[in-house]
Amino acid sequence: MMKHKLLAVTILLFSFLGMKAQQVEKQSQLGVNYLEYIPSSKQTQEKLPLLIFLHGMGERGNDLNMVKFHGPPSFLDDRKDFPFICISPQCPDTIYWNEALLLPFYKEIISKYPVDKNRIYITGLSMGGFGTWASILAKPDLFAAAIPICGGGDTIQLERIKSLPIWVFHGAKDDVVPIARSVEMVETLKKLGSKVKFTIYPEATHNSWTETYNNPAIYDWFLQQKKK
């Protein structure tokens, strides 16, 4: 009997050790649905970098499984060692990403999780790329770095983020969001003295995000950025 109990405990222990840090469906106090990922290898009291992911227009609604179509949420259910708290909100299908929705959400998330406030990062694709630009322009002192993909924004306000590390991605043959939208942001920033990075995929159309989010270099780059 003792041997059977010992075997059961051993199996349970190995099962626990092999558990994956899967994404969990949550709802904020503001009513925003989101996916939560916390690395399983980290202690909850440890301050961790935060990565916010904003999805595109096609993933709006009230089904969080749709948010898993692209970007970090598409692979995080199979990862336990991703070195960020990753928060992926879902935009209602009646609106677009906007500061009125996102800024209070960010504030709640930062107060709720063990976030290193010097290492808060944001990225998004298409509509989420626009949301990324809008977020860093609205609250530039919140973020340590940003990666907007096939998006665009208001060039008039770019003075506010000229010192922020930004890496822009876009497909040269994008037939949904013209690459000119990213070009004008990058060129204006460079004129302001920004060290913005710009990667163009010569043959890519609108989907310039799959190759980007599959590239480990972007996550290494994020982790190298820290607010001063």
Is a pLDDT exceeding 50 seen at residue 10? no
Model confidence pLDDT, tens digit, residues 158-214: 999 999 999 999 999 999 999 999 999 999 999 999 999 999 999 999 999 999 999
Nearest to 138 by CA among 170, 106, 168, 182: 106
Is a pLDDT exceeding 60 seen at residue 221? yes
Q: Tell me what the mean pLDDT of segment 115-138 comes to.
A: 98
Tell me the pLDDT band of 5, cut-offs 50, 70 and 90.
very low
Q: Residue 228 has what pLDDT? A: 77
* pTM for this entry: 0.90
Q: Tell me what the mean pLDDT of segment 90-103 comes to.
A: 96
CA distances from 176 to 4, 35, 92, 206, 223 (A): 62, 27, 21, 6, 31
Cβ–Cβ under 8 Å, residues 206 and 135: no
The pLDDT > 70 percentage for the chain reads 89
32: which strand partners?
Answer: none
Contacts of 173 (CB under 8 A, 6+ apart): 202, 203, 204, 205
Q: Residue 80 has what pLDDT? A: 86
Beta-sheet strands, E only, within 113-166:
115-125, 145-149
Q: Residue 172 has what pLDDT? A: 98
Is a pLDDT exceeding 60 seen at residue 71? yes
